[in-house]
Amino acid sequence: MLKSKFKFRALLIPILIIALTIISIVILTENLPMKIEQIGWIDVYMSILFLFTWIYLVFGIFRSQIIEITIENIQIEKKNYLGFKRKYDFQYFNGFQTSIVSSKAGSFEYLYLVKDNQKIIKISTAYHKNYPQLKDKISLNLKDLGRIQFSYFDEYKEMFK
């Protein structure tokens, strides 16, 4: 049995989500009720920025990438942040694809377990300490479908599927 291990950066995401939520609640409670004349363009801009960041972190990163993976024999289990588990037989997938994501922090490889051109499970060197071991175990059980070009647009679309 092989179980994924998180890097420290993966643990920062929930902390950031909690901090953004608390800061937003404090700001709102201290300023409510607010008259429409008191609202400036910076208030609207910051509110939209906070909301977008919170949605991106919760529905994008936290829901789909900060996941615990357990591989046993011919099965892979995906467990998300709310504790919901889903087991898949390796036969369920068509294979796996990889892509490279470059950022200021460096380049990270992402591995997608794919079924009918849909990315079902995402594993990354950015969040998983033992990514090489997970990839080796997956490559023994699934066909490598090659490397794909990373697209932020596609990632945003998949966020809300």
Say whether pLDDT at 21 is over 90: no
pLDDT of residue 72: 92
Q: Which residue has the higher pLDDT, 66 or 114?
A: 114
Q: Which residue has the higher pLDDT, 113 or 38?
A: 113
Say whether pLDDT at 87 is over 90: yes
Q: Residue 139 burial (CB < 10 Å; 0-12/13-18/19+)?
A: middle
